[in-house]
Amino acid sequence: MRAEPNKTQNVRSVLQLFPSPELSNAVSDVCVCVYPEWGSCSLGVFVCLGCSGIHRSIPNLGKVKSLLLSRWEDSEVQVLFRK
């Protein structure tokens, strides 16, 4: 099964943030993990697996997705780039 073009582009967009200053700033505010694998679709920050569980357990905090395994919509990717 082939990846959808939009999904592939969104994954590339998210991965372009590694290891950018924007990523360092976003991570230091929320999570001290060196290699975060999750992103908050609403807060625009990157977090580790442990912190993603905390985010998921607090509904008002927002939705988190895997950077590589989840489908990211254009609007969600834009939230990451705004930070």
CATH number of the structural domain spanning residue 63: 1.10.220.150
Domain that holds residue 10: 5-82
Mean confidence (pLDDT) of the chain: 73
Q: Which helix (H) or strand (E) holds 54?
A: helix 49-57
- What are the strands of the beta sheet with 38-40, ordered from one edge? 46-47, 38-40, 64-66
- What residues pair up with 11 in beta bridges, in sequence order? none
Lowest average pLDDT, out of 9-13, 18-22, 43-47, 71-75, goes to 18-22
Lowest average pLDDT, out of 18-27, 44-53, 71-80, goes to 18-27
pTM above 0.85, yes or no: no
Give backbone dihedrals phi and psi of 71, rounded to 5 degrees, phi first: -85, 125
Q: Which helix (H) or strand (E) holds 47?
A: strand 46-47
Sign of CA dihedral 2, 6, 7, 12: positive
Please give the tally of structural domains in the chain.
1
